[in-house]
Structure 1
Amino acid sequence: MSVKIRLGILGGGGDSLIGVLHRVASNMFDQYEIVGGVFNPVWEENIGFAKKIGIPADRIYKDFDELVSEEVRLPENKRMQVISILTPNFLHFPMAKKLLENGFNVICEKPLTTSYKEALILKQTQDLSNSVFAVTYTYTGYPMVRQMRKMIEEGQLGKIQKIDVQYYQGWINPVIHDPAKRAATWRLQPEKSGISCCIGDIGTHAFDMIEFVSGLHISKVLSDLNYLYEDNKMDVDGTVLIRCSNGVKGVIRASQIATGEENSFIVKIYGEKAGVKWEQENPNYLFLLEDGQPLRILKPGHAYNSDLSLGGTKLPPGHPEGIFDAMGNIYKGVAKAIKCEPYDPGEFPTITDGIRGMNFIEQTVASNAEGNVWKTLDKL
């Protein structure tokens, strides 16, 4: 019988969507056991939440520093093996760095840090520690996104000609127009969220998705961002023209003021032989478009899909695979890496993906600030 990986969690308490998402995902394949953590900086809420979800109180710590100091004292076969960071953005870097320095594997929410400089330091730290590090660009876990990656990798679309990715939400619309509300929202506070709201939160998903499915690297960006109000320091909407290293051009459209939109993440990749289209709100359908041929719809669970897609499919055809499943697939891949088992590079995003996401965010903001000019991304 295999022994479950001992998982600790930082943040994600109360009614946090991201918290329940990670907890369910970690349990999905019976690979992990949540043994403790710090769910909230307020002790009463922290310990109360732990009791609510059935986590023993002896591994619930008053703060992050106590967690690290106490866990490293435990025998190696008892201490947490991997820790998930689900806190606001500004805490990602100091927490991840200290965890790596103390030998822990890390699963971190995106964006990886609040600056590109921090991200590079984190990579240097990981190189020295040799720990597994995953960044949860959740949508890469969807079976049909993974199928899209393999189809492009195998040349079914031919040479890529056009990329068009849209990520529209409307959640910030009721907040942004009220001065008091926007001042109280942490995602609109640079000291907590970093230099970008919309691009940092959802635009980076679009950026990572393009590189994940296409196999291309975005080399240049030109952005036009929208802040709406002069006293608002964080972008809430934007359009980014992209150029890839091999000359492929495309566009990223991201918005959190798209009134009425829920989570409209649409990916369209067009090649010389065929095109593919995927919509996050209908994740079971991958549309295959070819000149002179009827539209085809590929769905998860069928034998015509790739091993990477089928490996992340848990239900028979016709049964929806949702966002919990996508996150669960990422945790499954990280478990393989921690156990030194063979795994496909597409099974979980790495720290390099997180670093590139930070570089994209900073250059996109700089492009807008400098008058909508082209900015070059670093090669990693």
Structure 2
Amino acid sequence: MSNKIRLGILGGGGDSLIGVLHRVASSMYDSYHLVGGVFNPNQKDNLEFAEKIGIPTNRVYKDFDTLIAEETKLPEDERMQVISILTPNFLHFPMAKKLLENGFNVICEKPMTTTYEEAKILKNILDRSEVVFAVTYTYTGYPMIRQMKEMIASGVIGRIQKIDAQYYQGWINPIIHDEEKRANTWRLDPEKSGISCCIGDIGTHAFDMVEYVTGMEVSEILADLNYVYSNNKMDVDGTVLLRFSEFVKGIIRTSQIATGEENNFTVSIYGDKGGLKWEQENPNYLYHLTESEPLKVLKPGHAYNSALSLDGTKLPPGHPEGIFDSMGNIYRGVAKAVRKENYHPGEFPTMNDGVRGMNFIEKVVDSHQKGNVWIKIED
């Protein structure tokens, strides 16, 4: 009998990049066995996709409700243990709610829901259960981000005094300037995407990241968003000022209309003794800056890194690791939690991160709509 965790997936069929990312990540560390799911809304496509990726079709269900009904009929040692939600945003909440109510462990793409109120409902359900819930803020899985977190916690850069996160993409540029295209893109449809496009999609990554690496929580924000066209309902660019405390402040700069940019996510944390910088497009380098010594470059796999960083490193030094490895580390952390093994709290983003992410998105939009004013982030 295999001791692998039985995994189901919702969405991610066809040529979905996020689907490939999750399937590859779940196969790392030999912890999961993909047994079925609902990959496409059309059952013919669903079954063809299952055959293409080489899994049996007997647990490839025609829709989500059928999956719940059939899986809960199975003995506990046969039913899916973890189900990953990779669908468009508007389906995250109803799917996650029903999965939690039926005792499934959940891995959910971000943003976790489309509203803060929905996120709080999920949190209340989770608090009454014994299951595991993870939100895939994927970049927290990079070994050098985990190293940054541990170095900051141990006081290497001293007292934090400046935080700067930038996430620039240009992918929406060809869409936003074509009225027909932007009217038919789900990312720009509030009914499917929620109240925010840019902040909801990538700004929430930056928000979670700065809280993850610093160990601090943002207390207030002030936002200025750009919609480019008056008839476009969703932001595609934005700048958010952050207040952690009276003397610790920062900024998040996000854009999906930064022409020519691919996935330019950078994080810089400055303390009174030094600074740390990381770039997603060069994720194996962590830059340590001080005023008294030359620039230091830390790389994964070396003994000088923390246990949390080394635990998420699969290859010897000099062998690049990337986004698949980062997501794989999150899946690994969830596997430890499901098996009730010891794990570091930084191994995967939790429901709390998802709730704070939705709180952040709504407060950013609220700040912008009220004329760019400071808004408090609830605890």
Is this a same-fold pair by TM over 0.5?
yes
Distance 1:246 1:300 in 2: 35
Partner of 2:306: 306
8 Å contact kept, 1:217–1:245: no
Distance 1:247 1:59 in 2: 55
- 1:353 partnered with 2:362: no
Distance 1:280 1:294 in 2: 23
- 1:365 partnered with 2:365: yes
Distance 1:9 1:125 in 2: 21
8 Å contact kept, 1:187–1:193: yes
Q: Give the 4+ runs in structure 1 shifted more than 6 A.
A: none
Partner of 1:186: 186
Partner of 1:28: 28
8 Å contact kept, 1:224–1:372: yes
C-alpha displacement of 1:55: 1.2
8 Å contact kept, 1:135–1:350: yes
Distance 2:113 2:129 in 1: 18
1:261-272 equivalence runs, <5 A: 261-272=261-272
Give the unaligned 5+ runs of structure 2: none
Distance 1:2 1:350 in 2: 27
SS in 2 for 1:347: coil
SS in 1 for 2:77: coil
Partner of 1:122: 122
1:110-189 equivalence runs, <5 A: 110-189=110-189
1:212-251 equivalence runs, <5 A: 212-245=212-245, 247-251=247-251
Distance 2:25 2:71 in 1: 23
C-alpha displacement of 1:2: 6.4
C-alpha displacement of 1:247: 3.6
Distance 1:233 1:263 in 2: 23
Distance 1:284 1:83 in 2: 30
1:266-305 equivalence runs, <5 A: 266-305=266-305
Cα deviations by residue, 1:64-91 (Å, 9 ceiling, x for unpaired): 0000000000000000001000000000
Cα deviations by residue, 1:98-126 (Å, 9 ceiling, x for unpaired): 00000000000000000000000000011
Counterpart amino acid of residue 114 in structure 2: T
C-alpha displacement of 1:264: 0.1
Distance 1:127 1:75 in 2: 25
Distance 2:341 2:215 in 1: 24
SS in 2 for 1:218: coil
8 Å contact kept, 1:238–1:255: yes
Counterpart amino acid of residue 18 in structure 2: I
SS in 1 for 2:170: coil
8 Å contact kept, 1:216–1:245: no
Distance 2:101 2:165 in 1: 37
Partner of 2:333: 333
Partner of 1:98: 98
Counterpart amino acid of residue 250 in structure 1: G
Cα deviations by residue, 1:210-251 (Å, 9 ceiling, x for unpaired): 000001100100000000001100000000000014641000
TM-score between both structures, scaled by the size of structure 2:
0.99
Report the count of equivalent residues. Answer: 379
Partner of 1:317: 317
TM-score between both structures, scaled by the size of structure 1:
0.99
SS in 1 for 2:283: strand
Distance 1:289 1:126 in 2: 41
Partner of 1:12: 12
Give the unaligned 5+ runs of structure 1: none
Distance 2:95 2:11 in 1: 11
SS in 2 for 1:47: helix
8 Å contact kept, 1:242–1:251: yes
Counterpart amino acid of residue 297 in structure 1: V
Counterpart amino acid of residue 72 in structure 2: V
Distance 1:39 1:155 in 2: 45
Distance 1:101 1:246 in 2: 41
Partner of 2:377: 377
Partner of 1:42: 42
8 Å contact kept, 1:108–1:135: yes
8 Å contact kept, 1:108–1:136: yes
Counterpart amino acid of residue 60 in structure 2: I
SS in 2 for 1:59: coil
C-alpha displacement of 1:129: 1.8
Partner of 2:86: 86
Cα deviations by residue, 1:148-196 (Å, 9 ceiling, x for unpaired): 0000011111000100100000000000000000000000000000000
CA-based RMSD of the aligned residues comes to 0.8
Distance 1:82 1:304 in 2: 35
Counterpart amino acid of residue 231 in structure 1: N
Q: Alpha carbons of 1:247 and 1:69: their partners in 2 closer, same or farther (altered >3 Å)? A: farther
